[in-house]
Structure 1
Amino acid sequence: MRKFFTVILTCLSLYASSQTPSFITNDIEVYIKQGMKDWQVPGLAIVIVKDGKTVLMKGYGVRDIQTNEPVDEHSKFFIASNTKLFTGTALAKLEVEKKLSLNDRITKYYPDYKLYESTSTGLVSIRDMLSHRIGTKTFQGDFTFWNTRLTRKEIMNKMRLLQPSKPFRQDYGYCNSCFLTAGEIIPKVTGKSWEQYITDNILAPLEMTESAALSNDASQHSNMATPYTTSYTNILNKVPYDKWDNLAPAASIVSTVSDLSHWLLFQLDSGRYNGKRIMPY
């Protein structure tokens, strides 16, 4: 299984006391360095926020083992499936603004959309897509879409070929193409592409100036982490950057822990950032 050169930890929130816990001040350095050794991770970045403040933001190790360039708080990473949180937030915002309902059926926006079974096709909603409950197994079909030249619409069309393993809405099966489909509702109701809407309505208001909604040009970014894998050899080997923009609403955002601290503060302050309401609820 492919493993990226770096690991980003973005969602650790602590509630215990008004003071910074001793785990952060005394133990986390040891914990991180041991984890890097155990998992052969050359470098990572971490941000921790508590009580509306950033209590730790730091890079560890290197972002390229050939050049030994260090990881810092501005080093860029693929945030992979953390992208789904941005897509879900965008859709929730549009629902509050009454531009859509999460219960809207996909066929309302894409009349030719189909799943394997006709009954599921007629019922499947945005909410179902966000909940990973169309009846397929976890990752079923997903990895035939990575690193391909298929367009987003072509991937959506191929979902009709995925034979479910469970009845519709009965069980959970992690599904990247489901999030793609949900995200592609955004252009239908806003007139903007998913990536432009995310940039204008989330990244820009949160002052996430080091982030990008798409990742296909990752190699051109400054201070970009290099991908490696230990698969099959148990030795770090450099690999190409993945091409995920055709599944963008599920996986494509590139960011830094400096920017992601803004995202965490926004999430933990009920949709506000720097005293300004970003989410309309």
Structure 2
Amino acid sequence: MRIRTITVVFSFILWGIGGYAQPVADKVDAFIKYEMRERSIPGLQMAVIQHGKIVRMSNYGFANVEFSVPVTDSTVFSINSITKAFTGVAIMQLVEEGKVNIESPISRYLDSLPLTWQKVTVRQLMGHISGLPDITDTLTDEL
């Protein structure tokens, strides 16, 4: 919800600032810095894309607050659980196209699964109720 709010407000600012004397870049910078303070965001990267072209790229704040490491063009941010939203949208697009049935077992789409996993449905995976064990390697996840 926060991202949607920032995006909507940011869009209104971009549309409404054309007639003012202050340069657009200054207003965007001021808006971003204000939102970062209000939402306790330590650092971020931003790109404004217009008609398929990047018209502005900026970095703000710190990638590492403890050591005062600034955000740069090469800063890599952890995306954490945002992949759940992307995956959900992608799966539902496949459902709309008739390529995936969420009630089907995942073995219909994935080969060589362990026997105990083969009856788990796409819906169960999407809802995180499949009962599959957490098999991520916590040592490599932290790297």
TM-score bin (small chain): 0.5 to 0.7
Specify the alignment match of 2:46 in structure 1.
46
Q: Is the 8 A contact 2:95 2:101 kept in 1?
A: no
Equivalent position of 2:58 in the other structure: 58
Greater C-alpha Rg: 2
Could you tell me how far apart the structure 2 residues matched to 1:8 and 1:76 are? 19
Which among 95, 100, 103 is matched to residue 102 of structure 1? 100
- The residue that corresponds to 1:27 in the other structure is 27
TM-score, length-scaled by structure 1: 0.32
Q: CA deviation at 1:74?
A: 2.1
Please give the TM-score of this superposition, normalised by the length of structure 2: 0.55
Runs of 4+ in 1 over 4 A off after TM superposition: 11-16, 88-96, 127-130
Q: CA deviation at 1:95?
A: 7.1
For 1:52, the aligned partner's letter is: G
Relative contact order (alpha carbons < 8 A, sep ≥ 6): 1 or 2 greater?
Answer: 1
The separation in 2 between residues aligned to 1:35 and 1:52, in whole angstroms, is 25
Structure 1: gaps spanning 5 or more residues? 1-6, 114-124, 133-141, 143-154, 160-213, 221-281
Q: What is the identity percentage for the equivalent residue pairs of Structure 1 and Structure 2? A: 23
Alignment of 1:173-212 (within 5 A): none
**Aligned-partner residue type, residue 156 of structure 1:** S
Q: Which residue of 1 aligns with 2:70?
A: 70
Q: Distance in 1 between matches of 2:123 and 2:30?
A: 41
DSSP 3-state at the match of 1:67? coil
Residues 56, 129 of structure 1: CA spacing in aligned structure 2 closer, same or farther, 3 A cutoff? farther
Question: In 2, Cα distance between the equivalents of 1:46 and 1:215?
Answer: 30
Q: Which runs of 5+ in 2 are unaligned?
A: 19-23, 108-116
Supply the RMSD in Å over aligned alpha carbons. 4.6
Cα 1:15/1:215, change in 2 over 3 Å: farther
Pairing 1:92-131 to 2, within 5 Å after superposition: 101-107=99-105, 109=107, 110-113=117-120, 126=122
Check conservation: 2:47, 2:58, Cα contact below 8 A: yes
Distance 1:90 1:15, change over 3 A: same
Q: How many residues align?
A: 122
Contact 1:15 1:50 in 2 (8 A): no
CA distance change for structure 1 residues 90 and 73 in 2, over 3 Å: closer, same or farther? same
More helix by share: 2
Q: Which amino acid aligns with 1:70?
A: P
Against the structure 1 CA distance between its residues 56 and 85, is the aligned structure 2 distance closer, same or farther, given a 3 Å change threshold?
A: farther
| Offset at residue 15 of structure 1 (A) | 8.5
SS at match of 2:82: helix
Specify the code of the residue in structure 1 equivalent to 2:99: S
